[in-house]
Amino acid sequence: MNHDIDKLIQTYFRKKREGMDITSIRKELQEMQVPDDQIRRIIMKVDDLVVEEELRQISTQRKKEFNNIGTILLLIGLVLLLLKYLKLVNLQGYYVLIYAPIIAGAVMIWRARGMDDHSSGMHGRQNKRIRFR
């Protein structure tokens, strides 16, 4: 029976991603004569899977943004460093204008590579689920 519930969860997770709403899922499960407690568990699990997928997408997007901004900062710093040593720019001792973007860019790239897809996911908050009665 547990295998059937897992199959239903995956089926309705796919349908939920395709646009089916929770009310329709509940009606279909009731028509299949699934017990109410199992319907609640299935709907909660489907909802959890949808939230985890959205958080994974947000995390991936954030990782790309950090990497892109870090790369831009690093390149700006390297260009300024090159211009200074070619004596095309005189910064009059303000080396912070060169090294700050290099360091900040390198830190952002390092941070982006250190981010995993689960860092802001549900794994740390699974047990803190809000329940409405």
Please give the average per-residue pLDDT across 75-104, as a whole number. 88
What residue type is 59 in one-letter code? S
Using alpha carbons only, give the angle 35, 39, 42 rounded to the nearest 5 degrees.
135
CB neighbours (10 Å) of residue 76?
17
pTM: 0.59
Distance CA(83)–CA(9), nearest Å, equals 59
Please give the average per-residue pLDDT across 12-26, as a whole number. 89
Report yes or no: 72 and 105 within 8 Å, Cβ to Cβ. Answer: yes
* pLDDT(45) > 60: yes
120-130: pLDDT as tens digits: 444 444 545 55
How confident is the model at residue 115, as a pLDDT?
77
* 70 exposure class (CB count in 10 Å sphere: 0-12, 13-18, 19+): buried
Distance CA(42)–CA(6), nearest Å, equals 8
